[in-house]
Amino acid sequence: MSEKLNQLKEILGEVSDLQHAGSVLDWDQNVNMPSGGSEARGQQLATLGKIAQEKSTSEEVGRLIDDLKQEFEGADSDDASMIRVAARNYEKAKRVPAEFVAEQAIVTTRSFEAWVEARSKSDFSIFRPHLEKVVELVQKYVSFFPPADHPYDILLDDYEPGMKTAEVKEIFNNLRPKQVDLIKKISSVKQVKDDFLNKKYNEKKVWDFGEAIITKFGYDWNRGRQDKAPHPFQTTFSVNDTRITNRFETDNPLSTIFSAMHEAGHAMYEQGSNPAYERTPLAGGTSLAVHESQSRMWENLVGRSLPFWENFFPELKKTFPSQLDGVSLKSFYKAVNKVEPSLIRVNADEATYNLHIMLRLELEIGMVDGSISIKDLPEIWNAKMRDYIGITPPNDAQGVLQDIHWSYGSIGYFSTYALGNLVSAQLWEKINVDIKDLDDQIRKGKFDSLLGWLREKIHIHGHKYDPQDLVQKVTGSKIDSAAYVRYLTKKYSDIYGL
């Protein structure tokens, strides 16, 4: 290994350490920190972010990258890929002043605490001034870059490298009418019953059941943990420390089980990243769409499948005998896949979920280009919910305040959820070709082959390949909606007798 490569890896390793230290503070803010600590926490995150930004954009890093790009030109090794990704990150990061990174850390820390209060009181006015400042900073961030086809392209690229707003719109415009048509067909037939899902369930038993499931999936508790937070999420401090959070909703108690599967899907991706990539730009998932493909696969394609519940339903029934008395496996399977308009994105069924994402994409684009005023956001949200989903939120908590992302300044993120659904179905078709008895394995509660396939084809590569290249490498095509439409159509035709 060349001396210059060693020097670059050492600096980037220190940047990674600083960023992960910030992630620890962020995790603690969600899980443990008293609300009074927000001001100090914002300053701490600002300091770490500023140091990391200054270190990662130093002239020394720029010189090392330029020299190494020439040295490794045309190579296809891990080191060559690391240099390519590091160069891309450097070109973006050097445009953003360290002072801006510090300011954004302080603003979003305050914004998060305001969101928590606003959501608990269902009062958007508490969050509004903070969101206005967050969006102002997002627009300022966009201004640091050369003009793009659309200003939203710059934000989207942070989460889905190389993807353009126009591409996402085209994918969604092709997908939307097919999903709407399926939903209309479902709405014309007899609805399935799910009243038994909304009974009172013991919180600890639900929590423990979810943990038992993800243990069987392969979530490594020696390198992970699950804690409570206002909004479920996964965070990575290293390949040997990937944590998840969850929550319990009294009016939707079994959602905790599906959230555990979802977040464990993210965490297992991170746990499967090549350990040799630790403390380099290649560590972790290649993009949020690919990340979401993992979480949505374990939550939905596995966790809401009939073979899955053929294995787990008898034990669930033993755990909750009074709630599930007289409920058959088929009835339960249909209930957890019921299609109906719903207010909350994270609890939406597979047939309507992407419509929630399309709604948010339109709002984010409007906020970024200035065509939507923040003060009008609740009203516009409610109007789009009527147009897209057919229902109107009764309050802000169940409407515009339901998601945590904007409080953190994570604008450009939401479309990756729907893209992840599409990728999950593309991968699923390929997995079923390679593992011909997959349903039988799931029926027996065995997930080793599935996790092993994902480890080999997706997880181990970390960030070595760009997302579209990785999807094409594994499935033979770039991100496309056809497989997902086939999956939804077959599944719901069987459930609803279409």
Tokens of 184: 């209309």
156 SS3 class:
helix
Alpha-carbon distance of 153 to 104, in angstroms, equals: 20
What's the pLDDT at 1? 58
Q: Residue 442: beta bridge partners? A: none
Instruction: Look at residue 231 in the predicted model and tell me its pLDDT.
Output: 85
Q: Which residues contact 315 (CB under 8 A, 6 or more apart)?
A: 209
Residue in 263, 350, 362, 364 annotated catalytic: 263
pLDDT beneath 70: ranges in the chain: 1
Cβ atoms of residues 121 and 103 within 8 Å: no
Helix (H), strand (E) at residue 295: helix 288-296
- Answer for the pair 7, 270: CB distance below 8 angstroms, yes or no: no
All structural domains of the chain with their residue ranges: 3-144, 165-496
The pLDDT, as a whole number, for residue 498 is 87
Give the whole-angstrom CA distance, residue 295 versus residue 290. Answer: 9
* Count of other CB atoms within 10 angstroms of residue 283: 21
Whether the Cβ atoms of residue 253 and residue 200 lie closer than 8 Å to each other: yes
Let me know: does 324 contact 316? Beta carbons within 8 Å.
yes
- 263 in catalytic set: yes
| CA pair distance 252, 496, nearest whole angstrom | 23
Burial class, 188, CB count within 10 angstroms (exposed 0-12 / middle 13-18 / buried 19+): exposed
Distance CA 64, CA 11 (A): 10
Coil, helix or strand at residue 246:
strand
| Bridge partners of residue 241, in order along the sequence | 238
User: Could you give the CA distance from residue 347 to residue 256 in angstroms, rounded to a whole number?
Assistant: 10
**Predicted TM-score (pTM) of this structure:** 0.91
Of the candidates 350, 346, 336, which has an alpha carbon nearest to the alpha carbon of residue 194? 336
Burial 419-447 (b: 16+ CB within 10 A, else e): bbbbbbbbbbeebeeebeebeebbbeeeb
What gap in Å lies between CA 86 and CA 96, rounded to an integer? 16
Buried b (16+ CB within 10 A) or exposed e, 241-269: bbbbbbebeeebbbbbbbbbbbbbbbbbb
Q: Residue 40 in contact with residue 100, Cβ under 8 Å?
A: no
Q: Give me the architecture of the 165-496 domain, per CATH.
A: Orthogonal Bundle (1.10)
H/E stretch holding 112 reads helix 98-121
Strands 226-228 and 241-246, sheet pairing: parallel
Angle in degrees, CA 156, 87, 27, rounded to 5: 55
Please check whether residue 284 is in contact with residue 270, taking contact to mean a CB–CB distance below 8 angstroms: yes
Q: What DSSP character marks residue 399?
A: T
Q: In DSSP terms, which residues pair with 236 in a beta bridge? A: 242
d(Cα 494, Cα 333) in Å, to the nearest integer?
A: 11
